[in-house]
Amino acid sequence: MTDTKITLPESEIPTHFYNIAADLPTPLAPPLHPATREVVGPDALAPLFPSGLIAQEMASDRWIEIPDQVREIYRLYRPSPVFRARAFEEALDTPARIYYKSEHVSPVGSHKLNTAIMQAWMNKQEGVKRLATETGAGQWGSALACASKLVGLECMVYMVRVSYDQKPYRRVMMKTYGADVVASPSTLTEAGRSALAANPDSPGSLGLAISEAVEDAAGRDDTKYALGSVLNHVLLHQTIIGQEARKQMELAGDYPDILIGCHGGGSNFAGLVFPFLADKVSGARKNLRAIAVEPRSCPSLTAGKREYDFGDAVGLTPLLMMHTLGHTFMPAPVHAGGLRYHGSAPLVSHVLDAGLIEAEAYDQAEVFASAVAFARSEGTIPAPESAHAIHATVRHALAAREAGTSPVILFNLSGHGIFDLAAYDSFLSGRINGK
Amino acid sequence: MTDTKITLPESEIPTHFYNIAADLPTPLAPPLHPATREVVGPDALAPLFPSGLIAQEMASDRWIEIPDQVREIYRLYRPSPVFRARAFEEALDTPARIYYKSEHVSPVGSHKLNTAIMQAWMNKQEGVKRLATETGAGQWGSALACASKLVGLECMVYMVRVSYDQKPYRRVMMKTYGADVVASPSTLTEAGRSALAANPDSPGSLGLAISEAVEDAAGRDDTKYALGSVLNHVLLHQTIIGQEARKQMELAGDYPDILIGCHGGGSNFAGLVFPFLADKVSGARKNLRAIAVEPRSCPSLTAGKREYDFGDAVGLTPLLMMHTLGHTFMPAPVHAGGLRYHGSAPLVSHVLDAGLIEAEAYDQAEVFASAVAFARSEGTIPAPESAHAIHATVRHALAAREAGTSPVILFNLSGHGIFDLAAYDSFLSGRINGK
């Protein structure tokens, strides 16, 4: 019997984040001020983020050290295992060798905790007392609530009203971690009060919740803002995923031919892929394929344009150069809430344009069918977001059988689906069709 | 930095189950036929269980081999880590060294999968096509549904109506694994139809659901019945927990002074404790304490009598010699559904009477307070059942500070609480008081 899980000791928790900005063939386009369209400097971000994170956002060093105290907290769940998906391979009857990095093992159930811990710690170091953020479905809010408590910060989460009402368990999880959670629009901010004045029954939106959190943080000396994806420093923190996976694939005696991650804002995809992509940039692994997988209903990479656009829905943030469907784009209500973002991280957009990665889009019915097949082979029920990576894996594994090849596929299982069983119920009851 | 997680390679998955029956100071009282009160032989159990499991139920060998194919499936999540709870120790300001075995890492979120896999595999070996079982809150049903799919059996779950309606996510999880799930009472059995005739709106009960599953299994040649706790063979399978933990404590350079597990039917407690208890029986570790923790509302060990009683609520099963509150006892509706059982496993009852273990009972409000403190230190939100073990750990850790001692405490984190966030909501909103 060979091992199913490829594990690493805690001493192999990465000591540095990998900054792909140092290895890009062309430099990244900088963010612009929304009004003046001039390049945004560190000062413009200071009301919202601590200086240590702003420095990481703009850093050009290849390696950025991870503080010992942060690595200490990572020990709660890292290194995460890489699984060889033998049972899934058998179920698919494929000659492909399929591996998955299991980020769902974190206490909050997803990779989001990786950056939440680093962000909370840096804020704590700089004397911040309290973090404000927004959350839609609740993944990011749960991660930041947990990380804030672990480092000793207060946490304020503006949760989109419709999720607040329909997804009470994520809200309870955040409160269990000691966070304050309010439905957005709330009466706590100007933005919230205006929205409520216009419509007392407003269901809220992610854009509005961002406005509330940003207003909260900008208006209080003791509070900063935290974001769960898109920005350079967030993707940077997630590179511990791919660094661990590289070592684990070495232990398995395999190197991936195809890397696959689902894509919403881009952080779990970048986290897995960027540390391998250095090999493609250097020419050592010219044929390495890296595939970002998005829902057909929100196809920023496969159908969006690369241009300067706002990061949020209402136009408050700096302009970012990214693949976007337009910041007013309203994706159809798919169950993979974490993939419902109009744009893509500037770094992911950049490497897509540079031809270093590919993108694919799938319908949710086929995605859920693959998710159920995975659960029935491997036991773990995947998050609907991660299920997009699983479905792409299925497609490439079956194509390999047709082609008579046996590629090594590594995908990122970014989260479990225990909070998403209502979506599985819809699928199993035949209420999910097409997109 | 020292490691937070004490891990073992897959090669250290135990090769044998440990059968404490071989080491008991006095022999276990046998089960009796409910009508004749004569000792029940293997034949009486044959309509319900495969012969391999009946043999394990009655075995007197100290070590019982685990089939290679079963160990292969265990690789999906075993060996499970032992955590050193440093952050929790700090939060409690205790000189105690606290460790926990983490059975919540299984794909279904609890230790129940350990026996479900072994039971499903043995049934499959003997040509059974389909398993029938009951489930209350859904932990056991989820585990058997998953295990059945992994080995290739059909699975039929009779889920107590009130849980079926109030806990839809567990039901969806079972269906995701391909199981058939019906609300009990159902129209599929005589027992169900009679109950519905008497009361079409019957909320059901665990006793009635057992009757339905037993009737289903007894009436079909292709189907057997499976039980998730109480019986000897179920406790036997769980001893892989304690065997792994022994090796892990050795690696940590510590031997537990106090072992703690929550107690409902007795399987997670026995699983952790029995492999250590051999040292107490032999005299090598005379002072080892092992504490079973139950809810004050269902105190079978601390307030029940040891006598022959039925294993189920309606009086269908053989009579078992156990600590019991009487098979008609109706526990108050506490949130730790898995601990709402009127009796205790015969083996646990036996070692309690032999003075080898102790029992403690706590109120649920204090239990939830400890659970929240744990989540805020260690990240993981515990199941309300496991929170009983955590609360006892807190009590003994604080007592150690008072006494100026520094005991080594090892408890079993038998499951996570992601399906139980409604109960946390009740607690955080002040709706849980007293018992």
Domain ranges across chain B: 5-12+68-109+238-428, 23-60+112-232
* Architecture of the domain delimited by B5-12+68-109+238-428: 3-Layer(aba) Sandwich (3.40)
Rg (CA), chain A: 20
Residue (of A263, A261, A205) closest to A230 by Cα position = A263
Q: B346: which strand partners?
A: none
For residues A270 and A235, the answer to whether their CB atoms sit within 8 Å is: yes
**Looking at CA atoms only, how far is residue A116 from chain B in angstroms?**
13
Give the residue with greater pLDDT, B340 vs B160. B160
Q: What is the pLDDT of residue A359?
A: 98
Q: What is the pLDDT of residue A1?
A: 60
Amino acid identity, position A72: E
Matching residue, tokens 């992509």: A277
Q: A132: which strand partners?
A: A156, A225
Q: Which residues from A are below 8 Å from B1, CB to CB?
A: 10, 68, 71-72, 75
Give the residue with greater pLDDT, B340 vs B231. B231
pLDDT reading at B1 higher than 70: no
pLDDT reading at B101 higher than 80: yes
pLDDT reading at B97 higher than 90: yes
Percentage with pLDDT > 90 across chain B: 88
What's the rounded mean pLDDT across residues B293-314?
A: 92
* Cis, bond preceding B185 (omega within 30 deg of 0): yes
Q: What is the pLDDT of residue A335?
A: 78
> How far apart are the C-alpha atoms of B288 and B286, rounded to whole Å?
6
For residues B392 and B291, the answer to whether their CB atoms sit within 8 Å is: yes
Inter-chain CB proximity A421 and B10 less than 8 Å: no
Per-residue pLDDT of chain A (435 residues; tens, 9 = 90+): 689 999 999 999 999 999 999 999 899 999 999 889 999 999 989 999 999 999 999 999 999 999 999 999 999 999 999 999 999 999 999 999 999 999 999 999 999 999 999 999 999 999 999 999 999 889 999 999 999 999 999 999 999 998 898 888 999 999 999 999 999 999 999 999 999 999 999 988 888 898 899 999 999 999 999 999 999 999 999 999 999 999 999 999 999 999 999 999 999 999 999 999 999 999 999 999 999 999 999 999 999 999 999 987 778 789 999 999 998 887 777 777 788 888 999 999 999 999 999 999 999 999 999 999 999 999 999 999 999 999 999 999 999 999 999 999 999 999 999 999 999 999 999 988 755
> How far apart are the C-alpha atoms of A383 and B176, rounded to whole Å?
13
Q: What is the pLDDT of residue A115?
A: 98
CATH match for A23-60+112-232 among 3.40.50.1100, 1.10.15.40, 3.40.50.261, 3.40.1390.10:
3.40.50.1100
Q: Does the predicted interface ipTM exceed a cut of 0.90?
A: yes
A170 → chain B, closest CA residue: B421
Q: What is the pLDDT of residue A317?
A: 85
Residue (of B169, B120, B111) closest to B145 by Cα position = B120
**Looking at CA atoms only, how far is residue B376 from chain A in angstroms?**
5
Q: Kindly report the number of other CB atoms within 10 A of residue B19's CB atom.
A: 22
- Rounded to whole angstroms, what are the CA distances from B148 to A192, A375, B260, B341, B393? 50, 12, 30, 25, 35
Inter-chain CB proximity A107 and B172 less than 8 Å: no
pLDDT tens string B6-17: 999 999 999 999
pLDDT tens string B49-89: 999 999 999 999 999 999 999 999 999 999 999 999 999 99
Inter-chain CB proximity A105 and B105 less than 8 Å: yes
Note the pTM of the prediction, 2 decimals.
0.97
> How far apart are the C-alpha atoms of B130 and B223, rounded to whole Å?
5
Q: Is B229 helix (H, G, I), strand (E, B) or coil?
A: coil
Phi, psi of B131 (to 5 degrees): -115, 145
Q: CA angle A110-A111-A114, nearest 5°?
A: 130
pLDDT reading at B435 higher than 60: no
Inter-chain CB proximity B372 and A176 less than 8 Å: yes
Q: Which residues from B are below 8 Å from A418, CB to CB?
A: 109, 169, 173, 418-419
For residues A174 and A141, the answer to whether their CB atoms sit within 8 Å is: yes
The answer to whether B5-12+68-109+238-428 and B23-60+112-232 have equal CATH topology is yes
- Element at B181 (helix H, strand E): strand B180-184
Q: Which of A155-164, B338-347, B368-377 has the highest mean pLDDT?
A: B368-377
B172 → chain A, closest CA residue: A425
pLDDT reading at B221 higher than 70: yes
What's the rounded mean pLDDT across residues B178-192?
A: 96
